[in-house]
Structure 1
Amino acid sequence: MRQITASGQTIEEAVQSALRQLNTTKDQVTVDVIDEGKKGLFGVFGSKQAIVKVTKNMNPIQQAEAYLKNVTTKMGVEVEIKTTVHNQEIVFELVGEKIAILIGKRGQTLNALQYLLHLVVNKKKDHFYTVVLDAEGYRKRRKETLYSLAERLAEKAIRTRREVSLEPMPSFERKIIHTALQDNNRVETYSDGIDPNRHVVIKP
């Protein structure tokens, strides 16, 4: 976030001076008037310049990166953030030491951070983004684990002829389970319960 304090004969002149220094346009900044100035006698004697503070607004992705950096630093973990954007999906990849702290048990900490980032990015409703927060390739490993779990529990449901309930999961992980078993014609899956305890049930 860049900030400039500028002055001019009028508020508008001061704002334009700040915009030139920031190399941006008025719709990309927030303007705070520090002093409205004074024209003075004949526009000269006793005149006082207008002073404004102009702050360049960050876009949602920059805001999310700054928020993530702030949170991870307060957790005592220094990370590098690699951001990629594809259509309406934003992926934040965390790289660094002590990454396990940010992942947490079964990815719970990472999921919580991802949810908060989703709120930060989509605070303004003019654009909606899907947010994925990853750390050292954890999401890929977790997906492989969930596929294996889904297949194993599907076999259990078939063998015992009873429904098998999985542990509560966030919606994007439940979707992985549903996808893993969608072509298995010996079982069907559905979600049950209310968040945060909503979970997948595998039915023979």
Structure 2
Amino acid sequence: MKKITVSGKTVDEAVKSAIAQLKTTRERVSIQVLEEPQKGFLGLIGTKPAVVEVEIKPDAAEEAIKFLQDVTANMGVTIEVEQRETKDGILFDLKGAGLGVLIGKRGQTLDSLQYLVNLVANRYSEQYLRIVLDAENYRDRRKESLEQLAKRLGNKAVRTRKEVILEPMNALERKIIHTALQDIKGVKTYSEGVEPNRRIVVAPAKM
């Protein structure tokens, strides 16, 4: 984190000077006025400048990446993180060897890491951030698998005229199931239970 102390004829002048030196914008800094400017006798003798302390605010995504790398290092896995914006938020694509350890059974470890990373990121952000973790293209593979599962269970619900209850899933995976079946005639879906054990029920539309 960069922090500098700067003086100027006015507070605004001192702040602008500090921002220029830090090569950032006003939105990215926190400002503390250490001394207000003071005029001397007749406005000429003993004039004191304004003094401000300007600090670059922590970047939420950067802090989240640092946290993630520390946690994975303690798990014995060294990673690099490729970050990019998506329609769903920010994607952290993990790169490295031994990523299977970080994915875990049915992505449970990856989901737990994602939960913690979001907690850390949102400590440093004034607006809500949504970060999705991925490794070895797991999210796309899981999405395809869930879509196939949804269609099989939708057909089963229609054929047997009975509800089918799925295992607990996170919100993103539940959305995939709901979306996959929303246009299928004769099937309805709804969620029941409380996190982290909330699950989807696939049922015939008319029972």
TM-score range, shorter chain: 0.7 to 0.9
1:52-201 equivalent positions in 2, closer than 5 A: 52-58=52-58, 62-76=59-73, 77-86=77-86, 89-119=89-119, 120-121=121-122, 123-125=125-127, 130-201=130-201
TM-score of the aligned structures, taking structure 2 as reference length: 0.73
For residue 167 of structure 1, report the CA deviation from its aligned partner.
Answer: 0.6
For residue 16 of structure 1, report the CA deviation from its aligned partner.
Answer: 4.4
Answer with 166-175 or 107-116: which moved more.
107-116
For residues 154-178 of structure 1, what are the alpha-carbon distances to aligned partners after superposition, in whole Å with 9 as ceiling and x for unaligned?
3443454321100111122111112
Query: Which residue of structure 1 lines up, in the alignment, with residue 21 of structure 2?
Result: 21
Tell me: CA distance 1:7–1:191, structure 2 relative to 1, closer, same or farther (3 Å): closer
CA distance in 1, matches of 2:29, 2:116: 25
CA distance in 2, matches of 1:90, 1:118: 10
The alignment partner of 2:68 has SS state of helix
Percentage identity across aligned positions? 46
The alignment partner of 1:173 has SS state of helix
1:11-50 equivalent positions in 2, closer than 5 A: 12=11, 15-32=15-32, 42-43=45-46
Residue 11 of structure 1 contacts residue 52 of structure 1 at CA under 8 Å; is this kept in 2? Answer: no
For residue 106 of structure 1, report the CA deviation from its aligned partner.
Answer: 1.4
Tell me: CA distance 1:10–1:154, structure 2 relative to 1, closer, same or farther (3 Å): same
Tell me: CA distance 1:78–1:53, structure 2 relative to 1, closer, same or farther (3 Å): farther
For residues 17-73 of structure 1, what are the alpha-carbon distances to aligned partners after superposition, in whole Å with 9 as ceiling and x for unaligned?
4323112344431234678899999539xx9x8765421124xxx412321332332
The alignment partner of 1:150 has SS state of helix
Residue 91 of structure 1 contacts residue 132 of structure 1 at CA under 8 Å; is this kept in 2? Answer: yes
Residue 93 of structure 2 contacts residue 134 of structure 2 at CA under 8 Å; is this kept in 1? Answer: yes
- Where does the alignment leave 5 or more consecutive residues of structure 2 unmatched? none
TM-score of the aligned structures, taking structure 1 as reference length: 0.74
Task: Give the alignment's Cα RMSD to 1 decimal.
Answer: 3.3
CA distance in 2, matches of 1:88, 1:107: 18
CA distance in 1, matches of 2:101, 2:63: 19
For residue 191 of structure 1, report the CA deviation from its aligned partner.
Answer: 1.3
Q: May I ask how many residue pairs the two structures share in their alignment? A: 195
